[in-house]
Structure 1
């Protein structure tokens, strides 16, 4: 009951703390009202009360944010939420802080309350630990859903914003004026971005201002819109038979956003609820175990044995793995790649420790070898900022962590198995139902007697039956009744079997091999992750090439535009291809042909290579307009191709999602209930055969 009392105290303190914080917020709000923030209450008292309450909550959130930033545990949680919300609210610091604290209080309060209530109902350390893990997972799911709704709302506002820009551009004929007017008549989130884009376009140095905005833009569509607006503002619009260049660029972006919204909504619909289904076994493991142990007494031997605990650990790992795979399937970062976000977390500090640098050097391939070239290429293709040495340090650290964690788990299981063998009651003949109180008391007495005899024999696994019988007789004779020879002999055989099983709990060679395999999986996990990221970035690379083509459709219409100027515009806009484009610009002065040929070798994507070929032709023989004369039809082809790719990927993800989402439930039923029942049936069958042979 000590755990139960502690949990009740923690829940009570948490509820009181939230109540005090809420009261403090109301007090702060009332003080602000007293200082003159109340509105004129001539007929709008209801709205004034709501505004007053909103201001009080806003002030409470801002002051809470300052308090949380001073406390390390709360600061870590708040910073984690802030990082996820930053792409949407990055340009509004106050709104970002308010949204961060709103979600932190909501999720934190629900987390503590639900876990506290469930833990009070079932005060068990394993159950509480599983609840903490499940709660952390659910919080991450809620945060992902909240961010996804914010991003979807921003995309929907962008459709209205682009429609308003088209209407205003028809009236004014000026991109900057149209953006400012449209931003005032649309949603608050997109209005902030419209204001920032308008300020950047009218800045004294618009190129530098746009570079700063590109770093904070929440998605690629706003970056493309800002770049197109800058081109039209500098070079002017060109009206051809197909219409205005500026409006055609906005039309292509509108089609892209509509395609993205359809993908998001459909994927969310098909994968909705699978996270909850994958987490349900966490809450049903204990009820299933309690039911099985109450209905089948021999199930105690399985659930408390090493095999039962290994299955329980494996079930939790399956739940965690399925959740992570579902997160990858539903990841909304598929088209939101950002270069340069990777940071060096801890590898450099580990290398400073004595001896680790020399040890890590053994695992770093030589610079002139093919393995070093492949690893360097993989890091470059994924825009990973770690050098090869630090990346190998990460792999070595994960190998050691996996090895030590597995060995610790194996030794813990051996220790728990030995403890259970000491307290294991003798096998009974009860198959269904539960033991009576008298039978349970007798089994407990026999288990204590076996433990005393085993300790008296110093846990000797090679003890003979006669030696065990003599020790058992001396212990059993201290009781109220004198044991018979048959009882002594049965107890000796039972205790000898326990001694052999107790001494058999040591590290086996196959367990050491399993630990090495777990360490090897940890060693190769970063490499597999980079390979997966490189395959997933193929879609991002194609998106960026499509945006390059959108900008070139405008640039090719401008008079006296050169290939070098096109490369400068592409480099300022690029994310994934920024490094090879900047390198090409540096080498362009020494020879356009050599620089563009090197650009083709740097990037392996077919669409980008084709784009570089056209730039190479335009720099030598033909004009830019002639080199990109088939660009409109090519863009239409790529748009339809991406639409079909979206449909196929969504269908594949939906199939995998259903399979992965229900895998933990299947594992719970078969591994935690069906397999133990089969094992118990064989055990009971063997017991029956022994009893039949004695007849």
Structure 2
């Protein structure tokens, strides 16, 4: 299907849809006018009732579709994956979770089907399947990320209002649970639901156990901190300090954190808006550009159907994928997404049980005395990757083999595609512009068939001589072709034979495959370094949360270091395991346990906090040790604010470069540069012809 036909079909479909929509609106308008004429005007209440009935019917239909989809083997796995992504924002609300899951599933599949129809109209076949798969992966991830980001921002905005209402009602009653209960009735749907869950946990028979259950499903660290601070004030009572109530000071600190987070997300979304769509757009333009170039410049067939064309197209597709995933990383706003206990990969453990793999892995792992062994084990600890060193090397070996096999297979496929192009491509008649007419195209294909026949007669030997080729052509022509044409055809066939025999896997291509495999081998290490960098930001967030908790606990009477460590363990995510080890060893010696805690968590901010706890063991009181905590919290807040601004600016610069890279590669690599190269080749050909005429 040509580009003109494709655009015509799109125009017809759009026009038909417009006519149907206009007819439906006209019919509805006529029906309303008739109702007005006979005096049957529905009231606003009845209209709302009808809308509510329609909404309930749609929700019932979505729930039926959810139940039906969960009964299908493949579809159920996909619905579960979507449900898992949405479960953090709709915890303890099964009805809403199923409804949102089915809405998102239908929306993603609708977008995928529409893009698949466009790609199918452009070029059906294997390439359509590859492009459709690529679009499906990108659309699925893109729409889910956008939807979840909007829900998270809506929840954060509602939490600011929730904390303001809690502050107001706490001033009225002076009771935490009553303030939360009344504020939940005035808050938005999402924040109100979590406020009611926190209120139920605080008024439970065992509030500590109920809060632990809530912590497992809390969608962000702010709600966890709000629940924990409220429980502390309920258990120990409120205190009035220089700045007022410690509970209200804690709420104010959380509200500032949320406001900073909302502003950061809004600015980042504004600067990186639509870059994902721009990065994906070249997928839909590769085939139209190729069709236009081949119809306007016949000599471009050699490029697009040859090895260089496939390499360029593959480069554009790889660049689209890389750009999209890099943009995802840049737009990622969930810096506190780390959870202790995640990241286990069972398949490495299963492979390690085989003796051959076991021996290979043990041979590659550095010896415990080597410095590289300590570096890698420290990297695993600091990045929070809960895998063993043996499993890491199994993953690296698997990626090396995968990269090597894929690269060598790609090289082999490209060589075979080039051989097929040499044998079956129409013979170029020297035309630079325009399109070959049917007669010329038929003649070019016929000449290509003759060339292929002669090449098979010569057994595809590159060492075939000019005389042998000329004799074979002369015998095949039977005296119908003159000597000049035979000489020209002979030279062309000899060039084809030489090019055909050059299409084999060369040593430098194998070397490229090894380089690709080595890059894949190093990829897990690079991801660990990146994860360690991101985890440091998570650690700073958690230390700031610890400071907020300690600012409340330090004024409580009879507060000990061990009790503070227990409260920090309840709030912690990243430092949970070091804190648990510290509490287990605390009875055998507080100083030794705190020293172990410093070794297990090598973050300067956290180590300074542990040093203050160390001083509180008997030399000074806890309140004296943390007397400068308010100034430190203000400093850390301003420091993080400045870091956020720098990060957003750098992300905006990189985002624009990465987002437009696929479009630039499509324009220049796939269109402009091939046209320039083709022009130089054609100019050389014309120059040789002019010299022969002279």
TM-score, with length taken from structure 1: 0.91
Range with greater deviation from structure 2 (590-599 or 654-663) = 590-599
Match of 1:32 in 2: none
**1:529 equivalent in alignment to 2:527:** yes
Distance 1:662 1:117, change over 3 A: closer
Q: Distance in 1 between matches of 2:236 and 2:98?
A: 40
Q: Distance in 1 between matches of 2:663 and 2:449?
A: 38
Range with greater deviation from structure 2 (77-86 or 635-644) = 77-86
Q: Distance in 1 between matches of 2:412 and 2:378?
A: 41
Match of 2:688 in 1: 690
Displacement of 1:42 in angstroms is 10
Displacement of 1:128 in angstroms is 4.6
SS in 2 for 1:89: coil
Match of 1:125 in 2: 126
Q: Distance in 2 between matches of 1:512 and 1:206?
A: 64
SS in 1 for 2:89: helix
Distance 1:416 1:42, change over 3 A: closer
SS in 1 for 2:588: coil
Match of 1:583 in 2: 581
Match of 1:669 in 2: 667
Range with greater deviation from structure 2 (555-564 or 586-595) = 586-595
Displacement of 1:593 in angstroms is 1.3
Q: Counterparts of 1:364-443 in structure 2 under 5 Å?
A: 364-443=365-444
Displacement of 1:386 in angstroms is 1.5
Match of 2:549 in 1: 551
1:91-110 superposed Cα distances (whole Å, 9 cap, x missing partner): 21221111000111122123
**1:560 equivalent in alignment to 2:558:** yes
8 Å contact kept, 1:115–1:132: no
1:19-50 superposed Cα distances (whole Å, 9 cap, x missing partner): xxxxxxxxxxxxxxxxxxxxxx9984323322
1:29-88 superposed Cα distances (whole Å, 9 cap, x missing partner): xxxxxxxxxxxx998432332222222222222222222222232122212211221111
SS in 1 for 2:273: coil
8 Å contact kept, 1:426–1:447: yes
1:605-650 superposed Cα distances (whole Å, 9 cap, x missing partner): 1111110110101113100000000000110001111111111110
Match of 2:157 in 1: 156
Displacement of 1:174 in angstroms is 1.3
Q: Distance in 2 between matches of 1:426 and 1:57?
A: 61
Match of 2:500 in 1: 502
Range with greater deviation from structure 2 (444-453 or 87-96) = 87-96
Match of 1:265 in 2: 266
Q: What count of residue pairs does the alignment treat as equivalent?
A: 655
Displacement of 1:124 in angstroms is 4.5
Match of 1:75 in 2: 76
Q: Counterparts of 1:2-401 in structure 2 under 5 Å?
A: 44-353=45-354, 355-401=356-402
8 Å contact kept, 1:91–1:192: no
8 Å contact kept, 1:449–1:476: no
Distance 1:238 1:270, change over 3 A: same
Displacement of 1:684 in angstroms is 1.3
Displacement of 1:170 in angstroms is 1.3
Displacement of 1:352 in angstroms is 4.4
Q: Counterparts of 1:513-662 in structure 2 under 5 Å?
A: 513-662=511-660
SS in 2 for 1:462: coil
Match of 1:446 in 2: 447
Q: Distance in 2 between matches of 1:208 and 1:344?
A: 30
Range with greater deviation from structure 2 (263-272 or 163-172) = 163-172
Match of 1:23 in 2: none
Consecutive unaligned residues of structure 2, counting only runs of 5 or more, are: 10-41
Range with greater deviation from structure 2 (419-428 or 269-278) = 419-428
Q: Distance in 2 between matches of 1:339 and 1:180?
A: 31
8 Å contact kept, 1:176–1:202: yes
Displacement of 1:485 in angstroms is 2.1
Displacement of 1:358 in angstroms is 2.6
Q: Distance in 1 between matches of 2:197 and 2:544?
A: 25
Distance 1:46 1:343, change over 3 A: farther
Distance 1:153 1:247, change over 3 A: same
Q: Distance in 2 between matches of 1:286 and 1:349?
A: 44
Displacement of 1:685 in angstroms is 2.6
8 Å contact kept, 2:122–2:288: no
1:106-146 superposed Cα distances (whole Å, 9 cap, x missing partner): 22123213422441354343245224312431232111111
Q: Distance in 1 between matches of 2:689 and 2:427?
A: 15
Q: Distance in 2 between matches of 1:522 and 1:679?
A: 33
8 Å contact kept, 2:169–2:183: yes
8 Å contact kept, 2:384–2:532: no
Distance 1:502 1:269, change over 3 A: same
8 Å contact kept, 1:473–1:488: yes
Q: Distance in 2 between matches of 1:604 and 1:118?
A: 52
Q: Distance in 1 between matches of 2:284 and 2:420?
A: 26
Q: Distance in 1 between matches of 2:82 and 2:305?
A: 39
Displacement of 1:603 in angstroms is 1.7
Q: Distance in 2 between matches of 1:72 and 1:299?
A: 47
Displacement of 1:337 in angstroms is 2.8
1:148-199 superposed Cα distances (whole Å, 9 cap, x missing partner): 0100111111111111111111122111121122112212211221122112
Match of 1:470 in 2: 471
Q: Distance in 1 between matches of 2:422 and 2:458?
A: 15
Q: Distance in 1 between matches of 2:417 and 2:504?
A: 12
SS in 1 for 2:574: coil
Q: Distance in 2 between matches of 1:463 and 1:255?
A: 81
1:342-380 superposed Cα distances (whole Å, 9 cap, x missing partner): 231522333345633333332222334322222222222
